Amino acid sequence: MAAAWPTLAALKQVLDVTSDDWDGDQHLEGVRQAAIEQVKLDVGDWDDASDAPDYSLARAAMLLAVRIAKAPAEANIPIEAAADPAYQRLLKGHRRRFAIA
């Protein structure tokens, strides 16, 4: 089932941000876009023209965006997606490409 990537407004709500001071590409919008891009990279072979997120991938992007946004203030939050079991569970069954070591 198709869902939508998290919006800036949804990210701000989760982070309890009410001002527009941090909305730009260099701040929360950039964090949101980076998280979405990371999910696409982790799935592998993502095609923006034909692929759409489902609820698990959208939630994975939100989880990652929140973790990235909070990272400077909370050093114990794992930013690296590979180290986050919740993120990995949300991506389960979605990977199209795996790293070869």
pLDDT tens for 8-18 read 999 999 999 98
The helix, strand and coil proportions of the chain, stated in percent and rounded to the nearest 5, come to 50, 0, 50
Does 77 score more than 60 pLDDT? no
Query: For the chain, how big is the Rg over CA atoms in Å?
Result: 14
Give residue for tokens 């994975």. 60
Please state whether the predicted TM-score (pTM) of the whole model is above 0.75.
yes
The pLDDT assigned to 45 comes to 87
Predicted confidence band of residue 4 (pLDDT cuts 50, 70, 90) = very high
